[in-house]
């Protein structure tokens, strides 16, 4: 099956392969549990064998990250403009204080949050949602989100080039990434829930 896939890339139209790379980089911002970097790593490694243009793969990864980030930012902005529609548990005193803290954080450090977002597996989308909630304008979102994507994708390209055709090493790398991401998500979710419960009890 893998040989057939590579044959298609090598001898068929390749434009759709770049579309897949864009989608892989963007979709994790829409569905955060999806490990976009794992798919991207495979795409970069495939570029070695299928002779895809490295510059186009890099641009596709960066474009996908920006599109996905802007979608998450748009969701946050929509939520900020429709607070009256939020469920009741998001309008409790504890939740209100938490959202106020997010807004203050973005007023002071929004550029930094967006610049490091690509280095925060599984939490990237929330960086852009937070920017939308704080009504951060689209210009800085594109600039700092783009810087983050450019830096991270350069790292991905380097890893993919180093791994190359070593599929066993790539699989092992993908598995480690998935485990690390799951652990990080669990820790963050537990911390957020604990803080939410604590704030409500104090209130």
Q: Tell the burial category of 193 from Cβ atoms under 10 Å away from its Cβ (0-12, 13-18, 19+).
A: exposed
DSSP code for 203? -
CA-to-CA distance for 203 and 181, rounded, in angstroms?
Answer: 33
Q: Tell the burial category of 51 from Cβ atoms under 10 Å away from its Cβ (0-12, 13-18, 19+).
A: exposed
Give pLDDT, residue 2.
Answer: 45
For the chain, give the number of residues: 203
**DSSP codes, 136-165:** --HHHHHHHHHHHHHHHHHHHHHHHHHHTT
Give pLDDT, residue 7.
Answer: 55
pTM for the whole structure: 0.77
Distant-in-sequence, close-in-space partners of 79: CB < 8 Å, separation ≥ 6: 86, 129, 132, 133
Give pLDDT, residue 171.
Answer: 65
Give pLDDT, residue 63.
Answer: 93
Give pLDDT, residue 174.
Answer: 66
Q: What is the mean pLDDT of each run of 10 residues along the chain (203 residues)?
A: 51 68 80 67 68 82 92 92 81 77 87 88 83 93 95 83 68 71 76 72 67
Give pLDDT, residue 35.
Answer: 62
Tokens representing residue 21 in the block: 């790379």
């Amino acid at each position: 099956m893998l040989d057939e896939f590579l044959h298609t890339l090598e001898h068929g139209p390749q434009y759709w392969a770049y579309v897949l790379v864009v989608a892989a980089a963007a979709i994790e911002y829409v569905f955060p549990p999806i490990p976009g970097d794992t798919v991207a790593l495979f795409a970069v490694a495939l570029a070695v064998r299928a002779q895809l243009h490295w510059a186009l793969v890099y641009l596709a990864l960066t474009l996908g990250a920006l599109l996905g980030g802007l979608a998450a930012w748009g969701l946050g902005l929509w939520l900020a403009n429709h607070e009256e529609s939020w469920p009741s548990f998001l309008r409790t005193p504890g939740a209100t204080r938490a959202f106020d803290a997010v807004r203050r954080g973005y007023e002071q450090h929004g550029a930094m949050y967006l610049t490091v977002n690509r280095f925060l597996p599984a939490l990237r989308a929330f960086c852009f949602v937070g920017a939308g909630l704080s009504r951060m304008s689209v210009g800085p979102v594109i600039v700092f989100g783009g810087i983050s994507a450019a830096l991270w994708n350069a790292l991905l390209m380097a890893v993919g080039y180093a791994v190359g055709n070593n599929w066993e090493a790539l699989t092992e790398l993908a598995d480690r990434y998935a485990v690390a991401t799951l652990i990080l998500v669990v820790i963050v979710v537990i911390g957020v829930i604990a803080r939410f419960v604590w704030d409500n009890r104090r209130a």
